[in-house]
Amino acid sequence: MTRIVIKELIWNKRNLEHIKKHNVTVDEVESIARKIVVHKKAKQGRYSIVGRVGSRIITVIINRIGPGIYYPVTARDAAKKERKRIYEKEKKQIS
């Protein structure tokens, strides 16, 4: 699987308002971008990254703009399947 390294996130009014609708902050998205726990390819050439911020598990959909530069399309609380992947990965790290 391709490793995603995020050096910069591009923010504008559109994506800031969109993540706000899901009660996600820029700081939470930035935190997840620095410490991606799991990721996979999503629709339209985008990527889904999932990570933990405190006790909250959040999914961020990003679009690659250039090397290390991504546009966060949306962010929301992770779905049950996504949370399960995080729990499994964390369990492996403990073992």
24-39 pLDDT, tens digit per residue, is 999 999 999 999 989 9
CATH superfamily ID and name for 8-94: Ribonuclease toxin, BrnT, of type II toxin-antitoxin system (3.10.450.530)
What is the model's pLDDT at position 92?
A: 82
SS3 8: strand
Q: Which two tokens stand for residue 56?
A: 């909250």
| Residue 47 near residue 40, CB atoms below 8 Å | yes
pLDDT digits (tens, 9 = 90+) for 41-87: 999 989 999 999 999 999 999 999 999 999 999 999 999 999 999 99
DSSP 45: G
Q: Strand, coil or helix: what is 31?
A: helix
